[in-house]
Amino acid sequence: MMKHYAVFTLFVLLFPASLESQDSRQRNADTNQVAPSFSPITNERLLNSDAEPQNWLMYSGNYFSQRYSGLDQINNENAAELEMQWAFQLRALDRAETTPVVVDGVMYVTESPSNVIALDAKTGSQYWRYNHNLPEDLNFCCGRNNRGIAVLGDKLYMSTLDAHLVSLDAKTGSVLWDVEVADEASGYSKTAAPLVVGDKIITGVAGGEFGIRGFVDAYDAENGKRLWRLYTIPGPEHPDNESWSGDSWRTGGSPTWMTGSYDPDLNLVYWGTGNPGPDWNGDVRLGDNLYSDAVLAIDPDTGELKWYFQFTPHDIHDWDSTQIPILADSEFGGQSRKLMLWPNRNAFFYVLDRETGEFLLGKPYARQTWAKGLDEKGRPIRIPGTSPSVEGTTVSPSIGGGTNWFSPSYSPRTDLLYVMAYDGETTYYIREDEYVAGERFTGGGGVTPLPAANYASAVRAISPQTGDLEWEYPVQPRSTAGVLSTAGDLVFSGTIDGFFFALDGNTGEERWHINLGSRVHAGPMSYMVDGKQYVAIAAGNVLFTFAVRE
């Protein structure tokens, strides 16, 4: 179990040097400099990103979203020698949920609510920053967040909290184009990193608590023109619209507020969808509420929906399925399969065939009391009496879920899926709610009956072949950190009380830890500059980097 060692002394000894360099950088923070040029990020480089593990070219590391680094300079043998190399103080005091992108020694990190900073990945020195101007009054849920950028050619792409998509010059931070994706006054917002596929920037939208109608968009990378839009709630002309009673589909939510994945061989983009609206009052939207709480397989050329799989039909507990799809080529049932691995917010771990959407396996990986299990097609078998009620109904998992948006990881070396899991519960309430454009439309709420520390949280390693738990590493209280696995057979993650740690990917044994003094609420990543491997993580409003002691 994570032990709260007195490691603050180590942090205090290390941090002043980083603060001194930070002060010198801050004096020049408002005088943007030109970042070094890099070889253009072509589609070929993105398709073969694993061939250049010194870089981290997209939010999830590669198109399969495995959050796996092929670097092994930092490994099980020397992880105990990790030391902080530099720290960069973000200006915004909002919690940092960013994952940096690194291209040939240049790091691009987003800062809440909608800013981008270019840094020297070796020293942390700032080249430039871009601050996106936002309206004074914004309708958004849940937090002033930005999780990262995408890169293509010599251009960057970022979603903004006021539901815009912005393209920047990677060398200077100058705005190349800025398009409005949706009307923020109606509750639309954007917090996730876009996904580059070919010459298209594919992006989703947040706002499920405001009665929006969710969608996935594709934009021309060169000029920002919208090329297609796929609504995640079908209109009246589509037979699946019948899964929404009356006109409830118009305010049905189903947002797409995280980043998708891509299989180049199948030419399919996979995107998760969020909860239907109103969140907890399902009486006003009877039916399965397609395609909420689902994964969509999309043709990136046309925006055509090829298949879908719905994890939680008629969700009444706010268990968004916006977790990032992890793609893996592995053995299943005695043969090599193109798999999709998905530890869902509803506390079940799913294995799907990503070519067809066929359900292959489903097992609980976290505490759940709402379903007897899954049937042969993966549909949950609900337990009576678990719906929200006026007097309150206590159910596991909690509103936060068995996991949430923070990314899991898959290691092709160990063939294990690693996820930060949580065994909590919530007392769910239902109420009448009238839709008003731009106002929250939730139909109830939830209360955690006991302190978070009374419930179990852990990094759990799951077998894709069986869904069985191979090992777990308990952390307390509940953690909201993402996970990174590496070719050094290490797994990195963090905790709400500021610990950042490395585990043996095969056994779960702790190899190293440090306390960073603030909440880890982001996903770690790794890169290399001048032959030296670094691991980076945002904690609180500081970005930290570590490497092995020289």
Q: Read off the tokens for 408.
A: 């899991």
Distance of CA 98 to the CA centre of its chain: 9
User: What contacts 430, CB < 8 A, 6 or more positions away?
Assistant: 280, 281, 283, 387, 388, 389, 390, 443, 444
- Can you tell me the distance from the alpha carbon of 268 to that of 234, in angstroms, rounded to the nearest whole number? 20
Query: Sign of the C-alpha dihedral, residues 294, 299, 301, 303?
Result: negative
Residue written as tokens 């505490």?
367
Residue written as tokens 């609504």?
231
> Of 323, 345, 349, 351, which is closest to residue 256 (Cα–Cα)?
323
Q: Classify 87 as helix, strand or coil.
A: strand
Q: Is 244 within 8 Å of 251 (Cβ atoms)?
A: no
- Which of 318, 433, 489, 504 is labelled catalytic? 318
What Rg value do the Cα atoms of the chain yield, rounded? 22
Q: Is 383 within 8 Å of 409 (Cβ atoms)?
A: no
Q: Classify 282 as helix, strand or coil.
A: helix
Q: Read off the tokens for 139.
A: 């309708």
Distance of CA 193 to the CA centre of its chain: 9
Angstrom distances, CA of residue 482 to CA of 108, 279, 308, 367, 419? 19, 25, 26, 19, 8
> Of 92, 91, 129, which is closest to residue 107 (Cα–Cα)?
129
- Element (H or E) spanning 12, and its range? helix 8-27
- Element (H or E) spanning 16, and its range? helix 8-27
Number of H helices, E strands in the chain: 2, 38
Residue written as tokens 């870089």?
55
Residues in a beta bridge with 329: 338
> Of 192, 193, 158, which is closest to residue 176 (Cα–Cα)?
158
Cβ neighbour number for residue 436 with a 10 Å cutoff:
10
Active site residue 329: no
Using DSSP bridges, classify how beta strands 484-486 and 68-69 pair: parallel, antiparallel or unpaired: parallel
Output the 3-class SS for 445-503.
EEECCCCHHHCEEEEEEECCCCCCEEEEEEECCCCCCCCEEECCCEEEEECCCCEEEEE
Q: Read off the tokens for 203.
A: 């992006």
Catalytic residues: 318
